[in-house]
C-alpha cells in the first residue's frame, strides 16, 4: 500500500524546485496542509497531480507578471533626474507604443465636478486623482490609437518618489477650446439652435427618457432611436455645416465599435461629447473622456450601455452593420483583417497596467467581444472594401503598430516563431518588414494609377 500523502508532497516539492520564485512562498507547514487538502479530495493521483500543476502554473504566471510591473517602476525610477525648478511632477506617456517620461508643471485653472481643468506645460487638459479606473483610461487611449481613433493623449502622473498621483488627459490645444459633454450639448442646443423642428423633437425625446433613468430594453428599434438621438444632436448644432455633421457622425459611430470591443461601459450622455473650436471645423467629437469602466454590477457580458438604456451587444453591432456601415466599414475591415496582431498588442499594453487577476479577467472579456464582433461581421454579408482602399487602410494600421513592434518582443505577434533570439534584432527586423510591406503596397498603387 503506497503512502498517497507522501507521493503528493514529493510531487509538490519537485514542482516547487522548478519554480524558484514560487518555492519561497511555501513552508513545510503550508505544503503539508496543501497535501492534506488534496488527499481529502479522494481523487486519483493523476487528477491530483493535474490540480497541482494548474495551481502552481497560475501562481507562477502571477508572480512573473507582478515582478514585471515592479521592474517597470524601477526602470522609470532609475531613468529620472531630480525635479527641475518650477516642475512638480513627472508625466509617463504610453502614447503610440512609446513610453516617455518627462517633467511637467501642472497648474489647476478651474475645478470641475469630475476632474480639474489644468495647464500642462504648453497645453491644456483634465486631471484626475488616483483611482482604479486610471489604468483603464491609459489602456483605452492606446487601443483607440491602434484603431485609428482620435483621443486625448493620456499621461500617468508621478511625484518625485515615483508614487502615482493621478492621470492627465492632454486634450485641448488652446484655452479657447471648449469641451461639452452630450448633456451639455443638449442644453447648448436648447439655447442656441435655430433648427426649431429638430430641436423640439430632441427636447421631447430627451425629457421623456431622462426621467426613467437607466432601463433595460430588448427592442432593436428603441436602441437605434437612442443612437439616432446623438446623431440628431450633431445636426442641430448652431451654424454647423453638412460636412462637419458627417465627420461627427462617423466619429461617434466608430466609437460605438470601440466601446463594444473594449467593453467600455461609460456610454451615457455625460461621458463623451464635443470640442468647440475658434477655427477650422467648428465642432469635433471628443470621445476619449472617462472611457474607463469595464464592468458594472448587474450587467452580464452580453450587455452594454447605450445612452439611456442597457442593451444587448448583438443589437448594437447589428444596428451598426445594417444602418451605418458606410461610416464604420474602414475600421471594421481593419479590425477583422488584423485581428491577430491587434489582439496581441492590446494584450501587451494591458499587461503593463493591471495586476494579474485583473489583466486576465479583462483579456477574457475582450476576447469574447472580439469573437462576437468578428462572427456578426462575417455573417452580415457586408460589402467588402475595394482592394485599393483595403490596402491603404491596412498600411496605415501597419504604420501605427510599428512603434509597438519596436518596443515589444516581435515574437508576440507571430505564433509560428519558437526561438526568440535577440529582442532588439527581432524588433528591428519586424520594423523593416512593416516598412517593406508598406513600400511595396504604395508602389503597386502608383503603378496602377499611371497604367504601367
With a cut of 80, say whether residue 441 has pLDDT above it.
no
**Same domain as 239, residue 192:** yes
> What are the Cα distances from residue 258, in Å, to 129, 166, 261, 267, 305?
25, 24, 5, 11, 13
Q: Give the per-residue pLDDT at 163.
A: 83
pLDDT over 50 (residue 220): yes
Structural domain ending residue among the three candidates 108, 139, 172: 172
* Shared-domain flag, residues 242 and 268: yes
Query: Are residue 150 and residue 189 in the same domain, yes or no?
Result: no
Final residue in a domain of this structure, among 172, 203, 227: 172
3 state DSSP class of 269 = coil
Domain that includes residue 13, residue range: 4-78
On whether residue 58 sits in a domain, the answer given is: yes
pLDDT of residue 228: 93
Query: Which helix H or strand E contains 180, and what residues bound it?
Result: strand 178-181
What digits encode the pLDDT tens for the residues 287-346? 655 567 788 888 899 999 888 888 999 999 999 999 999 999 999 999 999 988 999 999
Of 362 and 78, the one with more pLDDT:
362
Is the pLDDT at 111 greater than 70, yes or no?
A: yes
What is the average pLDDT across 351-362?
89
In this structure, are 74 and 95 located in the same domain? no
Number of domains in the chain: 3
48 and 112 together in one domain = no
Report the pLDDT value the prediction gives residue 381, as an integer from 0 to 100.
83
Asked whether residue 443 is domain-assigned, the answer is: no
Predicted confidence (pLDDT) at residue 366 exceeds the cutoff of 90: yes
**pLDDT for 70:** 81
Taking Cα atoms as reference points, which of 403, 338, 410 lies closest to residue 370?
338
**Cβ of 36: how many Cβ atoms within 10 Å?**
12
Q: Are residues 238 and 312 in the same domain?
A: yes
One-character DSSP codes across 316-359: HHHHHHHH-HHHHHHHHHHHHHTHHHHHHHHHHHHHTTS-HHHH
Within a domain: residue 397? no
- Please tell me whether residues 243 and 319 are part of one structural domain: yes
- Residue 303 has phi, psi (to 5 degrees) of -110, 155
Do 168 and 181 belong to one domain?
A: no
Q: What is the pLDDT of residue 352?
A: 85
Is the model's pLDDT at 411 over the cut of 60?
A: no
Mean pLDDT throughout 428-435? 45
**pLDDT level of residue 1 (50, 70, 90 thresholds):** low
The pLDDT of 46-62, averaged and rounded, is: 80
* DSSP-based three-state secondary structure for 56: helix
Q: Residue 451: its pLDDT value, please? A: 40
Confidence band (pLDDT; 50, 70, 90) for 175? low
**415/428 Cα distance (integer angstroms):** 18
**Residue 366 forms part of a structural domain:** no
What pLDDT was estimated at residue 15?
A: 77
Same-domain check for residues 115 and 184: no
Q: Is residue 388 part of a domain?
A: no
Find out whether 286 and 134 touch, Cβ atoms under 8 Å: no
> What local confidence, expressed as pLDDT, does residue 174 receive?
67
In this prediction, residues 44-60 reach a mean pLDDT of 81
Specify the pLDDT at position 414: 52
Whether residue 235 lies inside any domain: the answer is yes
Both 156 and 200 in one domain: the answer is no
Whether the CB-CB separation of 167 and 155 falls below 8 Å is answered with: yes
Share of the chain above pLDDT 90, in %: 20
For the entire predicted model, the pTM comes to: 0.77
What is the average pLDDT value for the chain, to the nearest integer? 80
Predicted local distance difference test score (pLDDT) of residue 280: 59
Flag whether 158 is in a domain.
Answer: yes
CB under 8 A, 24+ apart: contacts of 316-322 = 316/223, 316/256, 316/260, 317/260, 317/372, 317/373, 317/376, 318/220, 318/376, 318/380, 319/220, 319/223, 319/224, 319/227, 320/253, 320/256, 320/257, 321/376, 321/377, 321/380, 321/382, 322/380
Query: Dihedral of CA 215/216/222/228: which sign?
Result: positive
pLDDT at 326: 93
Q: Is residue 114 part of a domain?
A: yes
What strand order describes the sheet that includes 178-181? 178-181, 273-276, 283-286
Answer whether residue 56 shows pLDDT above 70.
Answer: yes
Amino acid at each position: 500500500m503506497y503512502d498517497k500523502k507522501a507521493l503528493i508532497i514529493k510531487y509538490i516539492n519537485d514542482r516547487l524546485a522548478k519554480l524558484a520564485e514560487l518555492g519561497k512562498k511555501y513552508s513545510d507547514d503550508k505544503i503539508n496542509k496543501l497535501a492534506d487538502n488534496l488527499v481529502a479530495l479522494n481523487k486519483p493521483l493523476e487528477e491530483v497531480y493535474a490540480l497541482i500543476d494548474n495551481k502552481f502554473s497560475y501562481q507562477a504566471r502571477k508572480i512573473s507578471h507582478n515582478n514585471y510591473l515592479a521592474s517597470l517602476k524601477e526602470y522609470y525610477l532609475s531613468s529620472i533626474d531630480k525635479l527641475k525648478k518650477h516642475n512638480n511632477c513627472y508625466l509617463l506617456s504610453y502614447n503610440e507604443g512609446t513610453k516617455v517620461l518627462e517633467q511637467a508643471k501642472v497648474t489647476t485653472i478651474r475645478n470641475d465636478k469630475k476632474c480639474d481643468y489644468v495647464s500642462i506645460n504648453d497645453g491644456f487638459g483634465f486631471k484626475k486623482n488616483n483611482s482604479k479606473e486610471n489604468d483603464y483610461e491609459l489602456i483605452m487611449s492606446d487601443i483607440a490609437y491602434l484603431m485609428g481613433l482620435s483621443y486625448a493623449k493620456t499621461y500617468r502622473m508621478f511625484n518625485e518618489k515615483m508614487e502615482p498621483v493621478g492621470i492627465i488627459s492632454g486634450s485641448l490645444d488652446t484655452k479657447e477650446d471648449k469641451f461639452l459633454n452630450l448633456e451639455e450639448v443638449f442644453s447648448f442646443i436648447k439655447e442656441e439652435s435655430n433648427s426649431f423642428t429638430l430641436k423640439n423633437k430632441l427636447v421631447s425625446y430627451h425629457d421623456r427618457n431622462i426621467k426613467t433613468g437607466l432601463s433595460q430594453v430588448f427592442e432593436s428599434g428603441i436602441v437605434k432611436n437612442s443612437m439616432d438621438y446623438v446623431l440628431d444632436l450633431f445636426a442641430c448644432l448652431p451654424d454647423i455645416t453638412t460636412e462637419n455633421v458627417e465627420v461627427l457622425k462617423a466619429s461617434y459611430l466608430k466609437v460605438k465599435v470601440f466601446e463594444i470591443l473594449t467593453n467600455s461601459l461609460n456610454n451615457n450622455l455625460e461621458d463623451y461629447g464635443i470640442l468647440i473650436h475658434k477655427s477650422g471645423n467648428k465642432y469635433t467629437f471628443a470621445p476619449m473622456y472617462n472611457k474607463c469602466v469595464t464592468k458594472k454590477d448587474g450587467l452580464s457580458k452580453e450587455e452594454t450601455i447605450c445612452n439611456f438604456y442597457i442593451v444587448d451587444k448583438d443589437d448594437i453591432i447589428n444596428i451598426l452593420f445594417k444602418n451605418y456601415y458606410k461610416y464604420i466599414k474602414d475600421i471594421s475591415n481593419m479590425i477583422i483583417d488584423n485581428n491577430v496582431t491587434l489582439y496581441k498588442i492590446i494584450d501587451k499594453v494591458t499587461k503593463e497596467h493591471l495586476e494579474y487577476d485583473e489583466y486576465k479577467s479583462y483579456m477574457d472579456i475582450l476576447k469574447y467581444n472580439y469573437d462576437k464582433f468578428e462572427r456578426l461581421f462575417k455573417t452580415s454579408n457586408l460589402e467588402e472594401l475595394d482592394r485599393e482602399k483595403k490596402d491603404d487602410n491596412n498600411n496605415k494600421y501597419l504604420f501605427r503598430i510599428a512603434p509597438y513592434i519596436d518596443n515589444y518582443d516581435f515574437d508576440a505577434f507571430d505564433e509560428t516563431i519558437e526561438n526568440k533570439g535577440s529582442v532588439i534584432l527581432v524588433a528591428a527586423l519586424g520594423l523593416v518588414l512593416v516598412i517593406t510591406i508598406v513600400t511595396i503596397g504604395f508602389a503597386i498603387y502608383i503603378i496602377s494609377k499611371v497604367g504601367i
